[in-house]
């Protein structure tokens, strides 16, 4: 099942207590899904970080590949927001997929510890 994307600005808002994971390539935050049957993800790529549109588009394309590869690790009742960092342009596919797996695993551990 392919996830839908977050499109509304207000849906990107995150709380202080939402679980967060960081790596060299991105920061990811999870929050309870607005529609639990249809969990989504959002990608934030700023012009300040990536001056050229070609770089912003490449960063999004790379991150979407990593998300698709690790889809089974994403909780169906959570929405995820990814903030992309500059280092993603230098990452290779395998390293990125491993980093995504570790970040999602860390989020699961944070959620379990919060309960």
Statement: residue 97 has pLDDT above 90: yes
Condensed to tens digits (0 to 9), the pLDDT of residues 16-39 reads 788 899 999 999 999 888 877 777
Do 38 and 21 form a contact (C-beta atoms < 8 A)?
Answer: no
Q: Interior CA angle at 22 toward 5 and 82, to 5°?
A: 15
Condensed to tens digits (0 to 9), the pLDDT of residues 34-80 reads 877 777 899 999 999 999 999 999 999 999 999 999 988 888 888 89
Minimal CA–CA distance to 75: which of 32, 35, 16?
32
According to the CATH classification, is domain 24-114 in 3.30.230.10?
Answer: yes
- H/E segment holding residue 102: helix 93-114
Statement: residue 101 has pLDDT above 80: yes
Q: Which carries the bigger pLDDT value, residue 4 or residue 104? A: 104
Q: What is the pLDDT of residue 36?
A: 77
pTM of the model: 0.88
Q: What is the pLDDT of residue 112?
A: 67
- The residue assigned the tokens 């202080």 is 16
- Neighbour-count burial for 1-10, b at 16+ CB within 10 Å, e otherwise: eebeebeeee
Q: Which two tokens stand for residue 103?
A: 């970040």
- The residue assigned the tokens 């990593």 is 66
Q: What is the pLDDT of residue 114?
A: 60
């Amino acid at each position: 099942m392919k996830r839908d994307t977050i499109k509304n600005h207000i849906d990107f808002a995150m709380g202080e207590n939402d679980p967060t994971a960081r790596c060299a390539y991105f920061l990811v935050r999870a929050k309870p899904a607005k529609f639990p049957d249809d969990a989504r993800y959002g990608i934030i790529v700023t012009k300040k970080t990536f001056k050229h549109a070609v770089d912003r588009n490449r960063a999004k394309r790379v991150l979407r590949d990593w998300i698709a590869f690790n889809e089974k690790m994403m909780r169906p009742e959570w929405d995820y927001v990814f903030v992309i960092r500059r280092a993603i342009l230098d990452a290779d596919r395998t390293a990125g997929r491993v980093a995504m797996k570790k970040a999602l695993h860390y989020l699961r551990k944070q959620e379990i510890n919060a309960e």
